[in-house]
Amino acid sequence: MITESQLHQLADICRQASDIEIMPRFRQLEDAHIEQKQNHNDLVTIADQAAEQFIMEKLHSLYPDALLIGEESVYADASALEKYSDAALSFVLDPIDGTWHYANGSVYFGVMLGIATFGEMIGGIILEPVTGDYLWAIKGKGAFDRIKGKDHPLRTGRHAARSLAETMGCFSFGVCKGHEREQALQAASKMGRIMDYRCAAAEYRLLLTGATSFVIFQNTLNLWDHGAGQLIAKEAGACSRMLNGEPYQPQIKGKLIVAESETRWEELAALFNSN
Ligand SMILES: [Mg+2]
């Protein structure tokens, strides 16, 4: 188990990385500092790499035996992921989630850190570098938004009594292609207002602080994009499962529906299962 003071020490390391490596470079990047990964919308910057290195070094000095899984290191060598279920303690890091936003000078990006034991998340942090606020949770102890150093409990369900057509949510329909795009647009037409941020950190924040009613993620669901968010969502009372009803698993592909209530989840799943 992880204690509250250990978790906030970890959040502080993320914030230092933000203060030293991320925010000073925000809107100051040169073209040479931005590289494409798989395509022109899939980016990595010098700040992603520097922040990951900064956080990993601090984690290693505090917890020398822990398994460290970082988005950028896995991109270079995926072998760390294979040890995830067997590691007594592992840290899963996305040094900048929403790199497209970061590289384009848009404020929707986050630092996400998950803490796991034998493949199960026991702690999660989603830091918003621009404000320094962060969502956090420890398994079994609830979820909170730490705003200017003060904790506010997170509890989903604020819009549960509204109809789907009256609610707002995030839906990664932009990644759907061909027939799937048609199906996605049909499903989207039954929803109220929808957004597609391309940033899990921002989309989990909107759902868990009660701004939105649901998030539907799509495609390869990387552990560093969802480990921390899934734990915080669960602790905040959200209902989260893959479209086929299975629980989220690292690197799984498909549609992950995270809803403010069970009823909302069922309602959303029915949209995709019926067409
Ligand atoms: Mg990233």
Mean pLDDT value across residues 47-68: 97
What is the structure's pLDDT at 273? 86
Structure tokens, 253: 């592909």
Label the pairing between strands 67-70 and 239-242. unpaired
Output the CA 71–ligand 1 centroid distance in Å. Answer: 6
Output the CA 97–ligand 1 centroid distance in Å. Answer: 4
What is the structure's pLDDT at 42? 84
Instruction: Tell whether 109 and 191 lie within a shared domain.
Output: no
Instruction: Tell whether 184 and 146 lie within a shared domain.
Output: no
Residue 195 lies inside a defined structural domain of this protein: yes
Instruction: Tell whether 146 and 203 lie within a shared domain.
Output: no
> What share of the chain has pLDDT > 70, as a percent?
100
Instruction: Tell whether 226 and 137 lie within a shared domain.
Output: no
Output the CA 111–ligand 1 centroid distance in Å. Answer: 8
Output the CA 272–ligand 1 centroid distance in Å. Answer: 28
Residue 79 lies inside a defined structural domain of this protein: yes
Instruction: Tell whether 223 and 114 lie within a shared domain.
Output: no
Mean pLDDT value across residues 96-102: 96
Q: Report the interhelical angle of 262-273 vs 178-188 (nearest 10°).
A: 130
Mean pLDDT value across residues 80-96: 96
Residue 238 lies inside a defined structural domain of this protein: yes
Residue 217 has pLDDT above 70, yes or no: yes
Separation CA 244–CA 231 (nearest Å): 20
Mean pLDDT across the chain, nearest whole number? 95
Please tell me what DSSP assigns to residue 274.
-
Residue 159 lies inside a defined structural domain of this protein: no
Residue 51 lies inside a defined structural domain of this protein: yes
Output the CA 258–ligand 1 centroid distance in Å. Answer: 20
Output the CA 254–ligand 1 centroid distance in Å. Answer: 19
Specify the DSSP element, H or E, that contains 180: helix 178-188
Q: What is the CATH number of the domain that holds 250?
A: 3.40.190.80
Confidence label for 275 from pLDDT (cuts 50, 70 and 90)? low
Output the CA 134–ligand 1 centroid distance in Å. Answer: 17
Output the CA 75–ligand 1 centroid distance in Å. Answer: 10
Confidence label for 104 from pLDDT (cuts 50, 70 and 90)? very high
What is the structure's pLDDT at 17? 98
Nearest to 206 by CA among 174, 176, 232: 232
Structure tokens, 217: 């993620």
Output the CA 273–ligand 1 centroid distance in Å. Answer: 31
Mean pLDDT value across residues 36-52: 89
Helices (H) and strands (E) in the chain, counts: 9, 14
Residue 12 lies inside a defined structural domain of this protein: yes
Instruction: Tell whether 116 and 250 lie within a shared domain.
Output: no
Specify the DSSP element, H or E, that contains 170: strand 168-171
Output the CA 100–ligand 1 centroid distance in Å. Answer: 9
Residue 17 lies inside a defined structural domain of this protein: yes
Residue 10 lies inside a defined structural domain of this protein: yes
Q: What is the CATH number of the domain that holds 18?
A: 3.30.540.10
Number of CB atoms found within 10 A of residue 187's CB:
21
Residue 180 has pLDDT above 60, yes or no: yes
Structure tokens, 263: 């009823």
Domain end residue (candidates: 126, 153, 180): 153
Instruction: Tell whether 11 and 131 lie within a shared domain.
Output: yes
What is the structure's pLDDT at 174? 85
Number of CB atoms found within 10 A of residue 117's CB:
15
Encode pLDDT of 219-265 as tens digits: 889 999 999 999 999 999 999 999 999 999 999 999 999 999 999 99
Domain end residue (candidates: 119, 153, 187): 153
The total domain count for the chain is 2
Instruction: Tell whether 225 and 261 lie within a shared domain.
Output: yes
Output the CA 9–ligand 1 centroid distance in Å. Answer: 21
Instruction: Tell whether 139 and 232 lie within a shared domain.
Output: no
Instruction: Tell whether 194 and 136 lie within a shared domain.
Output: no
Domain end residue (candidates: 153, 172, 204): 153
Encode pLDDT of 116-171 as tens digits: 999 999 999 999 999 999 999 999 999 999 999 999 999 999 999 999 999 999 99
Output the CA 267–ligand 1 centroid distance in Å. Answer: 31
What is the structure's pLDDT at 76? 79
Q: What domain range includes position 224? A: 164-273
Q: Is the pTM value of this prediction over 0.75?
A: yes
Output the CA 142–ligand 1 centroid distance in Å. Answer: 26
Output the CA 94–ligand 1 centroid distance in Å. Answer: 5
Instruction: Tell whether 191 and 106 lie within a shared domain.
Output: no
Instruction: Tell whether 175 and 241 lie within a shared domain.
Output: yes
